A and B are shown apart, each in its own frame.
Chain A
Amino acid sequence: MLTSCSHEITNGCAPTVLQLRSRVTFTLFTVMAPFLPSFRGNIKRFLTDVQLLQYLIVLFGLFNLSLCLYEDQVGKFDWRQNYVGRIKFASFDTVSTAKKIIVATEENVVAALNLKSGQILWRRVFERGYAGRIHALSGISDGDFVTVSGGVPALVRAWDLATGHILHEWPIADQNPDRLDSPFISFSTEGLYSIERIEDVKWHIKDGTLHHILPIYNSGIEVTSYDSKTGEKLNNRFISAPFISEDTDCILAAPYLACLRGDSLAVLFMINLFDTTADVPSPVLTTINTIFGAGAEGPYKLETVLGDEPVVSISTDNGQRKRIIIAGETPVPIERDIIGNTSLYVTSLDKEKILLETTYKNGMTEVAAFELHTSTPRPQLSVALTHSSVQAPTIVASICPRQSKGVTCRHLLSCEDHVIALLQHSKLVWAREEALAKIIAVEIIELPMSEGEQAIETEFDQKESIDVDGSWDVFSMFLRRICSQVNQARALLQTALGREPPQSNQRADLVRDRFGLHKMIVVVTAAGKLFGIETRKGEIIWQLTVPNIRGLTKDSDKMLLYVQRGSRHFPHSPQCALVAADKDTNEGIVYTFNPITGQPLEGLTRLGYKIKQSMLLHAPTEEFLRSIVILDARDRVHVYPECATAVAASVGKSTYLFTADQTAGVLSGFSLAYSTPQNLIAHKVWEVVMSTKNQRITQIVSKNPIERVHSQGRVLGDRSVLYKYINPNLVAVVTQGVGSTHKNTLNLYLLDVISGAMVFSLVHKRARGPVHVVHSENWLVYSYYNEKSRRTEIATLELYEGKTQSNTTVFSSLATTKLPIVERQAFIFPLSIESIRETITEKGITSKHIMVALANGGILELPWMLVDPRRPTNPEMREEGVIPYMPEIPIHMDAIVNYNQSVAKVSGIHTSPSGLESTCLVFVYGLDLFYTRVAPSKTFDVLKEDFDYYLIIIVLAALVISSYVTKKLASQKAQKQAWK
């Protein structure tokens, strides 16, 4: 399957063609060499026929350009890592022979993990967002288990334990007495209750019965039971509980529902929900004083203690201490204070119930075990662990089976930084870095030079050699040279003798390679954890946890990662900065670190103001450090680090910032022109209002700042040039219509963010998101869902200045007033799109491809040529290298770069240039990580891997020898002729 290569559209790249030609001639040489000298005469005709056949084969080969991977190349330049996400529910499988752990996660995933290694045995990914959120996971019984997920209607699914196959599925949607009376019932609105109340609904699965528990304010609790396999409704009970209101805090400790009401004189109610013996189950009241004694202060917080027994905990004194209550006919409060931040779990050993208290302090995790009822310590079950990857854990599942050797407890830990770890006998069996399932920001950074090259670099250090003061400097330089050469010689000797070179703090393989293909991926995750992943094998080199941070805005996890200094400025170390917000105060923070080693540089800096906008200043300081310009919520400008203020002020005239306020629909532009070297001043130069009555800004897409455009224009069929409108300051603003009249409209504005000039605007009627936009060079590709035709479409815009260029050397947003010519076209895209990004190369000579992450798990490499808006609909209007228009974009299976390595729930694609002009590095992230490299115009600057070096050496040698021989022969002949 992998080796099948099919027709790939030839692109107009000259080097590709050249390379092909050479390949063809080589093939001919090798094939025809044995034929030529021997066959003559009567079989000559046959020979020509054979030759003709060969030419035809070669011709077919010419069109059959291979882009795809061969089977032996699988995994050679790509890797994939699978994740499940942060644990929500977990359960040990004690039934089947192959021991495993079933987990349900916040990323809407149900998976089985190998108990011994932590590897994923199988994984099922649910719907995105609310529709796939998992509400309950049942215990494991005879080879299957049940999950409840989704909103309205909720879906109940039964799964096969061994394979992860779905056994049954049924929706809970039929019971809605009020709605059934209503004449307007649609599938989407059908349900039990409004979306706001959905969080109150509780689910409980026990012994093959699913209980749906709905507290109704000031009235009672409705418990509906279903058979979890068939979906058959078993019974419907209503339990009177008039004390439940909006401010009652209710939790489920099955079979009890515990509700805490009131603040100062709080009362805890407990109702047995499934007790069928009593006709009217009555709640049992416990006052807060009976739990804590007198003197406890609110607010109180009620929590379920996970595990095998119905136990709840109440914390008091601002979460300083808490106590537990064992639910039962009469609730039993345990009169023992537990430290507030302890996480609790109840496990069972034989018939005994054991309370596990997990505390984390100074890097040490302690699990203390107590008998639940009597609070007797059980030191043989208590464990302590110090491990760098376990930070502030909670036990999410635990089993203590009695074996011949004694009791072995296994605890599954879920840590604050989303790590999943299995603890056995105070030993960490495995740990999984699940923070990588939710990546927020990515940068790909070049690796530093090797130590040998660094030594040479120091030898010719610029600063020292410029110094021309005094003649002794020459001697010092000479000395330095001698020293470094002696060192080099020693290193050479050592390697020749097979002795180990002295250990250095840098890993030997983490150095820049010749083609710049080996790089470091720096990722920021939603958990506030940073990772450095090398690209060759996907190995995690370093990790850093930045405590107590969150996304910059309230409703998104957006954090920004800036590369302040790359690895090219030896001896200065590379520097990255993370810009985020503090979790408690919401004020901005900047965290600087070395992206290669993962060492914090200046650590966490609290800014003391809220960040509205930030950007990397284009002008570096003397130490090649690019500073970050930050605009705070009160429109004041700051620079990080502060010493770079003068540098920022010096380029203030040409520095602009823009902000977008989604709630007000206002985009504003600021100029730093009035800045002084001591103080930066921003003043507003333009403001644009997208009236929130009609539309809501959903996306703002700018161009990649490192992008280079190689070609200024496009040659038309009549040999004239159409110049591209290449405005680096152009930004695409996508808004979606709101309200009834404009609900299904999609607006796209192209805005110059320096001058505030609108360049183009466009509206799609009856279209909706998700919208994915790629903005590059002079074109824009975006996908949306067409409601009218019910399909995903891709539209492209291309901007041209016209037949003349306004300024041939430099583009100025302020001087250009002429609006560009906009070419546009739309195509049908037959699959659903998750994310989209363009390839990028160092010089921009290579043609652009668009990487499209598909909902089916594939990553499609789509040549831009296929979405070229100038594809002619009329076959007579043909241009060079432009394919005639076809409404549907064909999906070639060999353009799927991740072949069978499907990736789920892709949230973004990051592309980065490599040292080779032909090659672009692609990193796809989401639930899974996938890394590969693509060559949009084929690898025109590298020889093929299977290039026949011996053949070319033999051919060359033969040519050289034969030329000498013939020269000799020719001179002899000439001599003979002269004698005649």
Chain B
Amino acid sequence: MSRSTSTRRAPILAIYATVVFAFIYLPIVVLILYSFNRDGVGGFPPSHLTLDWYRQLFTDGPIWDSVLNSLLVASGAVALSLTVGLLAALALDRASFPGKALFRRLVLLPLILPGIITGLSLLMFVVLSGAQLSLFTVFLGHGTALISVATTELFAGLQKSDRAQEEASLDLGATPWQTFWRITLPNLRLALVAAGLLIFTLSMDEIAVTFFLIGRDNTLPLEIWGRLRRGITPEINAVSTLVFAVSVVLIIVWYRIRMRSVGTEAQQLPERP
């Protein structure tokens, strides 16, 4: 990269970028700030610092039930979408079958279609099958919709990995089964962890599909949604702040993993012709 073009100063652009950043961060800052405000959400400036809303939150049974439900659904969705997504990525990378192009597009549809369409389609399917709406249908919906994310990430991982390594493994006497467990999967482990984290976060936050598939037990976003109708309280700010904090921790984990992978790739680069 040329030093001259990358460090040239552009003061007007810099100011504009700062404004955009302010716009992006304003709601988040407001949210966190007012979760510590004794007089509730609204009014300016925020006055008395308090942890009351957090105290209230920790004794709020339904919220924690919904958090548990969300964790259950998200863990299941990660397992389901990674399993099917891994096979789908392998199939797209290595097999050729009739309708492959269609399959590729179909898998990706939930990623690019509005959630309401996927959610309603699945609702019709559940109703047709005669099943009851429950956390299980939510898990099924999340898992299926997020196969798109798993397939995209893992397919990219497969494309980056060196095919010669699998050939080397077969060449050294390993069966395809051994090669899959000893070479293919370990080579994909970063993509697997990254996809898993992403799917987990997306599932924890999913609302459009969940909206139509939910039964009696709420996930966290739907619990919050339900409370918003009854009016806004700083307790929601408090739980949102906690969700934000967990997200930030996950981001940091994700970057650690990514930096590590980038690091090893960088080390290998000079050896490659």
Q: Do A and B bind each other?
A: no
Residues of B in contact with A (beta carbons under 8 Å apart):
none
